Amino acid sequence: MRNLNLKKVDVLNFRHIYEDMRLQFPISELKSYDEFINLFNHNVLECHAVFDGEKEVGYIIYALLEDKSLWLDYIAIKKEFHSKGYGKKVFELINNCYLEVEKPDEMAPNTLRRIKFYKLLGAQKLDVDYIYPNLEGGMQMDLYYLGDKIPSRDTINSDIKYIFNTLHSDIPNVDKMLNKIIA
């Protein structure tokens, strides 16, 4: 493994990443391809491919927040590169980011593995009753933060509000979910 680097993905080259996302993420956690393109075109989200030399090994999709923190929407290493240390290396390239994480579920070992991985990196679970907005009405998740210093509760609320009003503005009743979180 060489030094990894990130290269911004042009919206015209996003299709192959979206196809990989459809394989790696539950459909309930994915927006439509057209909605992603809309979010990229309106500078709400950025997509960067992760390269090891000339090999594309994964990708990250995030929103850049006012305080320069990242709202990590998706991070994935392509299946053929799993368990080779790439995930940890990608997190060495980014810092000060929010992570939406599934609740621990003994029946879904991948959730436990992901939580353990994020904690080993130093991510801390935030004291937030978080709801991930989706078309099914929302899904209870945990919100973690990986960074130098945990943001204040006011900053966390402000960041969540921004994300709900931009990234998730296409979701019906997103305002009701937001009110439950920051009430």
CATH of the domain at 135: 3.40.630.30
- Residue 107 structural domain: 4-182
pTM greater than the 0.85 cutoff = yes
pLDDT number for residue 135: 85
pLDDT number for residue 77: 95
Question: What tens digit of pLDDT does each residue of 26-80 get?
Answer: 887 889 999 999 999 999 999 999 999 999 999 999 999 998 999 999 999 999 9
* Cα distance between residue 163 and residue 103, in whole Å: 20
* Cα distance between residue 55 and residue 166, in whole Å: 32
Total of domains in the chain: 1
Provide the 3-class DSSP secondary structure of residue 85: coil
Tell me the chain's radius of gyration from C-alpha atoms: 16
Question: What tens digit of pLDDT does each residue of 107-165 get?
Answer: 887 889 889 999 999 999 999 999 999 888 899 999 999 998 999 999 999 999 999 99
Return the number of other C-beta atoms located less than 10 Å from residue 130's C-beta.
22
Burial of 36 (0-12, 13-18, 19+ CB in 10 A): buried
Provide the 3-class DSSP secondary structure of residue 174: helix
